[in-house]
Amino acid sequence: MSGSVNENQIEKYPSNTITPEDTKDEKKLPLDSPTTAPQGELYELEPKKEGFFESIINDFKPATTTRGDGAALKRSLKGRHMQMIAIGGAIGTGLFVGSGSSLANGGPASVIIDYTLIGIMMYFTVYALGELAVAYPLAGGFYTYCMRFIDPGWGFACGWNYFLNYFVTFPLELTTCAITFKYWTEINSAVWISIFLFLIIFINLFGVKGYGEVEFILSTIKVIATTGFIILAIIINCGGVPTDHRGYIGGKIISHQPFRHGFKGFCSVFTTAAFSFSGTEAVGLAAAEAENPRKSLPHATRQVFWRIAIFYVVGLLMISLLVSPDDSDLMNNSSNTSVSPFVLAIREAGIKGLPSVFNAVIIISVISVANSCTYIASRTLHALALNKNAPSFLTYTDRLGRPLMAMILVLAFGFIAYINEAKNKSTTVFNWLLAVSGLSSFFSWGSINLCHIIFRLAMKKQGRSLDTLGFVSPMGIWGSCIGLGFNILCLIAQFYVSLFPVGGKPNAAGFFQGYLAAIVVVVFFIGYKIYDRTYIRSLADIDLDTGLHTFEDLSDNNNEKPRNAKGRIKQVLKNVC
């Protein structure tokens, strides 16, 4: 039979009857035909026309096929989606708003140094994740690597902690969206929460395509706005704004009080900077739904260097030159966008209109974060269920590749945002919810680096060549060792700040809100080990084959030669530049 045949339209007929008229030349039968044909013959059935509403209903039916990793997710993310997810993934409230409290607590020098150090750590981490994700583009991202390379118990603990982080953050971001509008109006927050919750639900109806397109658009806006701010900040600093009475500023502000609150302030900025980069690892999770992870993921990971260098380091350098750490607005509630140093820098220059424009950019950033929260939380929960670490009904995936039950659970939790109306208790409730997973990023990034280290050691132990991999991290195993060390330092710094908070005295509530997540991870890990009694596998016993995509499997060009060790220096320069 010529032409391609949709497997859903193929049917085998028993051999006890024949079809003398209908099967002579034309092997096509209507869907409701009662006729049968000789055994083994395949007949293409005419597709049944579906109405608009019938098509929508059918899209929610179970997926008919699964991939090698057991998931039925669709590979719909294009290269441009992956690039913007990588570039704009961490540009959000952590940069636009959280940097304000960092400036007030640690001073401009601490901000520049700490954000640069954390950026270097993320550079190593994302490259390690890129190598693993190209080799194993599986549902669940780094969680599945923890299960395979470290220990099933550790994977269980980190997977649930990672899910809870974005699960809890979702309603908080909806609340932040509502509070952001107070810059213009005092309309009840519940109105804005309802609008944004409906918007996020609507976006998720389009599955991974909806996530990819929305992130592409919103990340593009964030990148343009941040780039525009840097240019404007240079003009303001040089005295090029007529409405700014300060004239030429230069380094007057940054040299006045470069460090604040000593070593304690430095540590507090160190941890805040790390939280600001949360979401960078989403590009590895999205690899499971990328059209061509071998091609798009390496290119996306290379964007991390420029994002760190331009948007964070240069952007915060300009903020440090324009906004004084003594500004009283910076010490206000960090959920209020009036404390955004970006908005303050524009407002203090006397430029009318632009503060509102940048406030709108912050709203866009918050929507982007909320959209990412639903994507990351639902995919992680779906992967947990696939590995039998969550209830089996959460594995349900519809024909559009949406992990439907996991999505519904995550989106339903968004209604917790309405607790914001209980003004006396809302802050306390959200603080304790966030405390459950507050250190998730450190455990996630540290685990990614550790997975890469063990993966490389297992490759060497089992005599495997790196030339077979579709993408090799130019930083190698030592880059992952440095990244792991940075994460351990972050956990130590967070412990110190939780025990001795900046501007306050040690107290039990403050400590547990800052470090409760570590206790939760340890409890999850020990509980799993007691229940399942798994053991840590030796390097020789680690499974490197299941789900592995080699260079030859993923290459689009059959004449392309595998990379070797001699070309590693050139590759580093190419990746950086």
| Full set of structural domains in the chain with CATH | 7-48 (no CATH), 74-576 (1.20.1740.10)
Residue with tokens 């240019």: 231
Q: How confident is the model over 531-563, as pLDDT tens digits? A: 887 777 888 888 888 878 766 554 444 444 444
pLDDT band at 19; cut points 50, 70, 90: very low
Q: For residues 490-517, give the mean pLDDT.
A: 84
Residue 566 has pLDDT above 70, yes or no: no
Rounded Cα distance, 456 and 440, in Å: 24
* pLDDT value of residue 11: 39
Residue 68 has pLDDT above 60, yes or no: no
* pLDDT value of residue 118: 86
* pLDDT value of residue 160: 92
Q: How confident is the model over 211-226, as pLDDT tens digits? A: 888 888 888 888 888 8
* pLDDT value of residue 552: 55
Residue 2 has pLDDT above 90, yes or no: no
**How many C-beta atoms lie closer than 10 Å to residue 305's C-beta?**
18
pTM, rounded to two decimals: 0.80
Q: Calculate ∠ Cα 89-304-483, nearest 5°.
A: 100
pLDDT band at 46; cut points 50, 70, 90: low
Pair 497, 267: CB distance under 8 Å: yes
Q: In this predicted model, which residue has the larger pLDDT, 303 or 338?
A: 303
* pLDDT value of residue 410: 93
Taken in order 522, 415, 209, 281, the sign of the CA dihedral is: negative
Q: How confident is the model over 415-452, as pLDDT tens digits? A: 888 886 666 565 677 677 777 777 888 899 999 999 99
Residues in Cβ contact with 153 at an 8 Å cutoff, skipping those fewer than 6 apart:
525, 526, 528, 529, 532, 534
Residue 232 has pLDDT above 70, yes or no: yes
Q: For residues 268-277, give the mean pLDDT.
A: 80
For the ranges 39-53, 170-184, 251-265, 474-488, which has the lowest average pLDDT?
39-53
